[in-house]
Amino acid sequence: MPRVEVENIVASTSFADKLDLDVIAQELEDAEYEPEQFPGLVYRLANPKTATLLFRSGKANCTGAKTLGDVEKTVKIIAQKLKDMGIDVYENPEIVIQNIVAISDLGTELNLNDVAMGLGLENVEYEPEQFPGLVYRLREPRVAMLLFGSGKIVCTGARKIEDVSKAVDKLAAELSSLGLLY
């Protein structure tokens, strides 16, 4: 069973019905806000190491977290900072995981041509002249996996951490049954 390491969790939440980003940009040190470049305010935390985009609609996207706990901690910290500014924020903002990116290693090199044929061309995108990795889309759990000849894997699209592990285990089992894992 290959080990899976979460690299990034993207989550969304809503802090309020609306936010005045001009006021927040002035009050929050280190906030980056250039509305002519991008409509959201970027606020980075050092611990946990995350970046959050705040929008006028009150919605926000958090990225960079490596655990669900880091996502929750980020949302709590920002909610408190907004409260400290006198902004009326929702009591327990709902957090929705949008995407989890994780890496794994099958521990052996792969012949991607054989893998493409074995997994079935309808589920695979592989154009080695364009990109050295093979994209394999699973229906269940619904994720996309990037496989490299080194045996390394990048898994994206999962919304639950257990789905990443399930997907990697399923891939390893399929490759083993095809005689492609040595």
| 60-84 tens-digit pLDDT | 999 999 999 999 999 999 999 999 9
Can you give the pLDDT at residue 1? Answer: 73
Exposure string over 121-153, b if 16+ CB within 10 A, otherwise e: eeebebeeeeeebbbbebeebebebbbbeebbb
| 24 and 92 belong to one structural domain | yes
Can you give the pLDDT at residue 149? Answer: 96
Domain termination residue (choose one: 97, 119, 141): 97
Question: How many domains are there within the chain?
Answer: 2
Is there a domain that residue 1 lies in? Answer: no
Query: In which band, very low, low, confident or very high, does the pLDDT at 2 lie, cut at 50, 70 and 90?
Result: confident
**The 134-138 sheet, strands edge to edge:** 41-45, 50-54, 59-65, 4-14, 96-105, 152-158, 143-147, 134-138, 124-125
Model confidence pLDDT, tens digit, residues 108-144: 999 999 999 999 989 999 999 999 999 999 999 999 9
Q: Is the dihedral of CA 67, 161, 151, 64 positive or negative?
A: negative
| 112 and 161 belong to one structural domain | yes
The CATH number assigned to the domain holding 71 equals 3.30.310.10
Domain termination residue (choose one: 62, 97, 132): 97
Average pLDDT of 89-109?
96
The residue range of the domain holding 114 is 106-177
Average pLDDT of 8-20?
97
